[in-house]
Amino acid sequence: MKLRSLVSLAVALIAVFILCAGGLGGFLGGGTAAAGCIPVATSPGSSSPTMTAPVAGPTLWPAIGDWDSGQVGNAAAITITGARLGVPGRGWVIAVATAMQESTLRNLAGGDRDSVGLFQQRPSQGWGTPAQLQDPVYASEKFFGKLGAIDGWQTMPLTEAAQAVQISAYPDAYAKWEGPAAELVTAIAETAGLPTDGLAGCGAVGPWTQPVLAPVGSAFRSSDRPGHDGVDFSAPRGTVIRAASAGTVRTVRCNAVYADSGAEWGCHRDGDPIRTRGCGWYVDIDHAGGLLTRYCHMDKPPMVAVGQQVVVGQPIGVVGSTGHSSGPHLHYEVHQNGDASANGAIDPVPFMVAQGAPLGAPPV
Ligand SMILES: [Zn+2]
């Protein structure tokens, strides 16, 4: 197969997971318009394809943010290895976040017990020889190999996916690196000319982005549903839901009860439009200026934890039909004055227009 077709095949494979539209105008340099994401349903259980495609980047990487040249170089080795293997961008972020926690992106000669290298992998656990594990490319290949074998890793919370690979004594420590890893990987991908599809911002260049790009169904407080404090988007089950803006996760909860008795219905199964009340699996995120966003009816436990910082566009869960719901959709709310009750709710449609991230169906 010719080089060019290999490259396009690899790019196409990556694009299968998350399609982005609009300018990839520069995470660091900034752009003018908020680019749209077109999240598509993830295919559960699909493992990472093993394609090879040449990718480029500087030999010596510059410092980026708080990370020095050496640390950025190691993150770049991880990112580029992931891209070469055909691993989707979400996997690059998981790997870099893991290395941030395990080694602060330093290629360590030693560590706890016989741990070695960026991911602190252990020769005694069959990861490779100490010399191999100090090769960032080899260490990354081993990480991605194991990640790709985990069923459903693409929709797991970062912590769960990292823990499944690493079997760390401190699994919760990975979550705090999600935002920094997403930012660093995005900057590296743009420099190396890699697709930024599926990375945190998904091409978002403004402070706000659409949580999903899908047709708006039921509107905010319409005449037939005056108590509907948000807007609904019809989207296939499994569609990735993204944080509309950077912030801190306030609430992660299952809220699904029997409409008649108030007894627990649960989020392990779909809700019912008549028999079930509640938001299902949902997330509230606090943003600057007292703003709060809410995302309801997720299919399974959200990917984020209370207190976690998220970046704009970060995947937080997937579309489902838990709680008061007649079928898979996202119910999205915007609140002001830090008021999570119905009193704080405002119409998301004009609000998102004003933020440069209008809601609605993807451009065709
Ligand atoms: Zn709704």
**pLDDT cut 70: percent of the chain above it:** 80
**136 plus 281 within the same structural domain:** no
Of 167-176, 231-240, 260-269, 289-298, the poorest mean pLDDT is in 167-176
Query: In terms of domains, do 182 and 260 share one?
Result: no
**304 Cα to the center of ligand 1, angstroms:** 21
Q: Is residue 202 part of a domain?
A: no
Average pLDDT over the chain, rounded to an integer: 81
Between the CA of 207 and the centroid of ligand 1 the distance, in Å, is 24
Q: Is residue 69 part of a domain?
A: yes
Instruction: Kindly report the CATH number assigned to the domain that includes residue 267.
Output: 2.70.70.10
Examine the domain organization and report whether 263 and 151 are in the same domain: no
238 and 308 together in one domain: yes
- For residues 187 and 279, membership in a common domain is answered with no
Please tell me the distance between residue 353's alpha carbon and the centre of ligand 1 in angstroms.
19
Compute the distance between CA of residue 219 and CA of residue 224 in angstroms, rounded to an integer. 10
Q: How far is the CA of 225 from the centre of ligand 1 (A)?
A: 10
Q: What is the pLDDT of residue 154?
A: 74
* In a domain? residue 146: yes
Give me ligand 1 centre to Cα 299, in Å. Answer: 15
pLDDT confidence band for 55 (50 / 70 / 90): low
How remote is the CA of residue 228 from the centroid of ligand 1, in Å?
6
CA of 332 to the centre of ligand 1 (A): 7
Report CA(223)–ligand 1 centroid distance (Å).
Answer: 14
Same domain as 288, residue 157: no
Confidence bin at 207 (pLDDT 50/70/90): confident
pLDDT for 6: 45
CATH (domain of 175): 1.10.530
Label residue 182 by pLDDT band (50, 70, 90): confident
Decide if 297 is inside a domain.
yes
Q: Are residues 239 and 144 both part of a single domain?
A: no
* Position 328 in a domain: yes
Please check whether residues 242 and 177 belong to one and the same domain. no
Q: Which pLDDT band holds residue 364 (cuts at 50, 70, 90)? A: low
Nearest-CA neighbor of 32 among 186, 196, 204, 187?
204
Do 113 and 175 fall within a single domain?
A: yes
Q: What residues pack around ion ligand 1 (CB closer than 5 A)?
A: 232, 331
What mean pLDDT is predicted for residues 174-186?
83
Q: Could you tell me if residue 235 is inside a domain?
A: yes
Q: How many angstroms separate the alpha carbon of residue 360 from the centre of ligand 1? A: 15
Structurally, the chain folds into a number of domains equal to 2
Q: Which domain holds residue 243?
A: 231-354
Residue where a domain terminates, one of 166, 192, 218 = 192
Is residue 54 domain-shared with residue 172, that is, in the same domain? yes
Do 151 and 256 lie in a common domain?
A: no
Q: Quick check: is 204 in a domain? A: no
**Do the domain assignments include residue 268?**
yes
172 vs 47, more confident = 172
Measure 316 CA to ligand 1 centroid, in angstroms: 18
- The predicted pLDDT at position 198 comes to 59
How far, in Å, is the centroid of ligand 1 from the Cα of 126?
A: 49
Q: How far is the CA of 328 from the centre of ligand 1 (A)?
A: 11
Tell how far the Cα of 232 is from the centroid of ligand 1, in angstroms.
5
**252 shares a domain with 157:** no
Distance 220 CA to ligand 1 centre (A): 8
What are 340-363's pLDDT values in tens digits?
A: 999 999 999 999 988 888 898 765
pTM: 0.57
Segment 247-258, tens digit of pLDDT:
999 999 999 999
Query: What is the rounded CA–CA span in Å between residue 123 and residue 125?
Result: 5
